[in-house]
Structure 1
Amino acid sequence: MRRRALAAALGLLPAAAAAQPAWRPDHPVRLVVPFPPGGPTDLVARPLAQRLTEALGQPVLADNRGGAGGNLAGELVARAAPDGHTLLLSNVGVLAVNQALYRTLPFDPERDFTPVALVAGAPVALVVHPGVPARTVAEFVAWAKAQASPLPYASAGAGTPGHLAGELFRSLTGAPLQHAPYRGSAPALQDVVAGYVRAMFDPVQSPLPQIEAGRLRALAVSGASRSPALPAVPTLAEAGVAGHDMVAWWAVVGPAGLPAPVVARLAGEIGRIAESADWQERLGRLGISPIFLGPEALAVFRRREAATWGEAVRASGAKAE
């Protein structure tokens, strides 16, 4: 995904950076985050808000609005005034997964948002409590099959990358897993560290501190290549689970009808941030790949991802209300 996105972005970044549109925010900007503090989306949102504050000359405030797999935040932004002062840092769930997962949505991902910029991507990690007697994916599958009842796995909520990664893993391996949704990564991780739930799927930046501290064990990561943050951890393909190439991503969108000068200014500033060494180093330490796509390319990318993730939802049989 990163190679595809970067290749598409090569022709876009200089143009976005060169633009000098006239729009300037005249009061603080709200960057709505569709999950509680401390999760993977938050780890992208807060440093981005800080850098946009410096670039725009107005405070950009990360506003966590968790619930319903990100749909509450999506609805809030979809109904906001299209003036550039309310934006959504969406994960793949809100823009590409939920329309296939939920019976109805309070917004249309295609119609009700203005694409601004793709920001970052990261693989999903399969982590387990250290008390789990499995050090490989094959051992984990065998251990799960030996349990008397389906093994719960935690995620940040219905429709999140962790949820769909877990469902795809279940369908590919035959492991008897049962989804245990939480209201965000932070509370889910607390329960996995405590041993109440023994396994979790989540974008790698969220469990990384617990992995490094030895409180969780990473068995594998999704995606085509290993995570630079966890170079000793195999990909799921290397671990014998072919066809599991799901990667989480994050993008900035605004309400439908966002004026072109607003989109140009925001995309230009995010493009400059994407080029900066400190941004790339900050995200890289967390196992996140900085990625930039401008508005037009993001619109195409979102449609393609919605088709891909929608197929995964249908294949898994996952549903949410």
Structure 2
Amino acid sequence: MQRRHLLGGGTAAALLTALGASARPAFGQTAPVRIVLGFAAGGSVDGVGRMLAEQIGAGLGRTAIVENRTGAAGRLAIEAVKASAADGDTLLLVPQGPMTLFTHVFKSLKFDPMKDFAPISRVCIGDYALTIGPSVPAKDLAGFRDWLKSAGDRASYGSPGAGTIPHFIGVATARALGVPMTHVPYRGSALAVTDVAGGQIPCMFSPVGDAIEQHRAQRVRIVATAGSTRTPFLDGVPTLKESGIDLDVPLWYGLYAPQAVPAATLDRLRATVVAALGTPASKERLGRLGLVPAPSTAAELTALQQRESAMWGPVVKASGFTPED
């Protein structure tokens, strides 16, 4: 994609003289702002991304688009953003797993979550959920546990991808329930929830928002969430901890740019995001996805990322999970 427009020779020469040959690309030209996601269209990450694209585009007076670059549990998207120009035109919207968990579940990464990206803001918070489909004759987690005991090779679960936080929640839940469950990774949650509703797989772990509409339509049933308190978006759904599984894993989404984007550009992007998330329209749209706006400073996002990354190391090791590739 053409990212910058060429200037006439005299103008270019004057700019190079004023700014120096090492000047970074300018922000705010006519190329679209790209918000890159590592998951397919239709899930909650995609929904948040499209809302942000509209709001950021309006706030900057530019076109902003979503680019769904699926594969490798979101790593391909992250690698693409890392390799993009440090001009603020390419951004990464990501659930916290790749930035806090991936260093503990993949033997080799082509990116360093702390060193290769500049934090802009946390975007929103929510919950992960355990969702069962019509192939499971249960109405709650206790009934699901009873079904698992006799399910045999039918005991499996879907997730948005291998090595994601929902994958790991499934590993921990299966261990707590004392029943082996086969993991079935998808490229995002949209296809997984379709297969749960259709009976191809019995259950899935995902953000609440990826299953909430199917739950409300009674095609699937969310039987537990993984946060410390019950989600305000679902009546009567307990937490895993209430149900005897000692897990407390909150969900958040963050917005990042490649490292070396100028501070002034990051500040402008952050101000645009914070303003967008403060509108009633954003609150309503995120609420439909089971999410709550939760902007932050760059320092707050960095501290959150560091704290959770430090937490995941011993948890993954204690679970017996074997790091992949």
TM-score normalised per structure 2: 0.88
Partner SS, residue 205 of structure 1: helix
- Percent identity reads 38
Residue 263 of structure 2 aligns with an amino acid whose one-letter code is A
Superposition deviation, residue 135 in structure 1: 1.5
Matched, 1:289 2:289: no
CA distances 1:175-232 after superposition (whole Å, capped 9, x unpaired): 3212111111111112111111011111000111111111101111110111122122
Pick one of 237, 250, 253 that aligns with 1:250: 253
Matched, 1:232 2:228: no
Runs of 4+ in structure 1 over 6 Å off: none
Residue 135 of structure 1 aligns with an amino acid whose one-letter code is K
Matched, 1:261 2:264: yes
Q: Structure 1 pair 178/40, CA: closer, same or farther in 2 (3 Å)? A: same
Superposition deviation, residue 23 in structure 1: 5.7
Structure 2 contact 277–293 (Cα < 8 Å) conserved? yes
Matched, 1:129 2:95: no
Greater radius of gyration (CA): 2
Residue 118 of structure 1 aligns with an amino acid whose one-letter code is R
Mapping of residues 103-252 of structure 1, within 5 Å: 103-149=107-153, 151-241=155-245, 243-252=246-255
Partner SS, residue 309 of structure 1: helix
Alpha-carbon distance between aligned partners in 1 of 2:152 and 2:31, rounded to the nearest angstrom: 57
Identify which range, 302-311 or 249-258, moves more after superposition: 302-311
Match of residue 24 from structure 1: 28
Alpha-carbon distance between aligned partners in 2 of 1:263 and 1:25, rounded to the nearest angstrom: 15
Q: Structure 1 pair 25/94, CA: closer, same or farther in 2 (3 Å)? A: farther
Count residues in correspondence: 299
Structure 1 contact 70–93 (Cα < 8 Å) conserved? no
Pick one of 44, 47, 54 that aligns with 2:48: 44
Alpha-carbon distance between aligned partners in 2 of 1:207 and 1:310, rounded to the nearest angstrom: 29
Alpha-carbon distance between aligned partners in 2 of 1:81 and 1:297, rounded to the nearest angstrom: 25
Alpha-carbon distance between aligned partners in 2 of 1:89 and 1:286, rounded to the nearest angstrom: 16
Superposition deviation, residue 150 in structure 1: 6.4
Alpha-carbon distance between aligned partners in 2 of 1:302 and 1:177, rounded to the nearest angstrom: 29
Structure 2 contact 283–293 (Cα < 8 Å) conserved? yes
Alpha-carbon distance between aligned partners in 1 of 2:77 and 2:102, rounded to the nearest angstrom: 13
Alpha-carbon distance between aligned partners in 1 of 2:174 and 2:318, rounded to the nearest angstrom: 11
Residue 268 of structure 2 aligns with an amino acid whose one-letter code is R
Partner SS, residue 149 of structure 1: helix
Match of residue 21 from structure 2: none
Superposition deviation, residue 108 in structure 1: 0.7
Alpha-carbon distance between aligned partners in 1 of 2:96 and 2:54, rounded to the nearest angstrom: 22
Match of residue 279 from structure 1: 282
CA RMSD of aligned residues (A): 1.6
Q: Structure 1 pair 25/168, CA: closer, same or farther in 2 (3 Å)? A: farther
TM-score normalised per structure 1: 0.89
CA distances 1:2-35 after superposition (whole Å, capped 9, x unpaired): xxxxxxxxxxxxxxxxxxxx96344211100111
Gaps of 5+ in 1: 1-21
Gaps of 5+ in 2: 1-25
Structure 2 contact 95–252 (Cα < 8 Å) conserved? yes
Structure 1 contact 126–218 (Cα < 8 Å) conserved? yes
Alpha-carbon distance between aligned partners in 2 of 1:146 and 1:152, rounded to the nearest angstrom: 13
Match of residue 13 from structure 1: none
Identify which range, 254-263 or 91-100, moves more after superposition: 91-100
Match of residue 17 from structure 1: none
Alpha-carbon distance between aligned partners in 1 of 2:134 and 2:175, rounded to the nearest angstrom: 25
Pick one of 295, 300, 313 that aligns with 2:303: 300
